[in-house]
Amino acid sequence: MADPGFDLSRTFVSGTPSGGFSEVNNRFVEAFSAGSGFRSAVGFGSRNSGKVYFEVTATGGNSCFIGWYRAAAIPTDLAGAPNTSSAGYFYINILSNQFTSQETGTIALGTSGDGTYMFALDLSSNRHWIGKNGTWLTGNPSTNTAPFFTNTIALGAAGARVQAGFGDSSARFLSLESELLYPLPTGFSPWSVPDAPSAGPRFSLLPVDPYTTPFDRWASDMTEQLSGYNAPAPAGEAAWERWAEIIVGLPPVVELGAPEPRQFARWQDWAARLLSAA
């Protein structure tokens, strides 16, 4: 991946939270925490110019910070960027309904609490939009109208950061187009772009209808098709999610852009999406 997730050498932990950083499809993309303190992480990669978009799904109702910053400055404080005169930092606090930047100080964000937060950053014109659950807080990046914030401090290369803490909370960084929950604004590109497909035949799975096939038989068939990659045998339908999480981590299945199992209540729905991707 051009952006494989968090840079785990640049994480920050304060207090004594339990939790950690979750890996999904070989990419560390989620910070989760419980108890006292917080965990934060920097996304790999940076963007120098142009229009970029990413989302962060925050859950738990506790303290999640989401921000972007001048990549030349190493973030160290709980907000996700250093408080220095040359840093160039911007972040939101979803618990306190706050937006903070080096230029504005702290102002009302206009929303708070759990949800999927949307960030459309025009790094060439320094115009930035923030939204939540499919609705922009101000204007519309697709029409270049009424940005939430326009900065005058040039960012140069920009980085992104998420943080979860102070109780049960999580913040998941969504940066690939395939994992975004809302459409890309017109003219914007996803924060992360997958590597170009390698030459040679693409891996595929023979379709076996999960809605008409018992789990044990369906999973055994998939295991057989993936036998060259040390696929584990299924341990029964009650443990389908654990088995499926291993399957989606196998190299050929990762290349398919396989869906994450825990997004589905029923194994049949996950299996149908997996076969659709194949």
Give, for 276, the enclosing helix (H) or strand (E). Answer: helix 267-277
Single pTM value for the model: 0.62
pLDDT attached to residue 76: 46
What confidence tier does 131 reach under pLDDT thresholds 50, 70, 90?
very high
Per the structure block, which two tokens stand in for 209? 């209808």
Contact predicate 64/44, CB 8 Å:
no
Q: How far is CA 9 from the centre of its chain?
A: 18
Mean model confidence pLDDT for the chain = 74
Question: Mind listing the pLDDT tens digit for each residue in 233-263?
Answer: 887 888 888 888 888 888 777 777 777 887 7
Q: Give the residue, 77 or 205, on which the prediction is more confident.
A: 205
Residue 137 has pLDDT above 90, yes or no: yes
Domains in the chain (CATH in brackets) are 6-190 (2.60.120.920), 215-277 (no CATH)
Question: Mind listing the pLDDT tens digit for each residue in 144-193?
Answer: 999 998 887 666 667 676 666 666 777 778 888 888 899 999 999 988 76
- Lowest-confidence segment of 121-125, 195-199, 240-244 by average pLDDT: 195-199
Contact predicate 231/247, CB 8 Å:
yes
Per the structure block, which two tokens stand in for 78? 């709980």
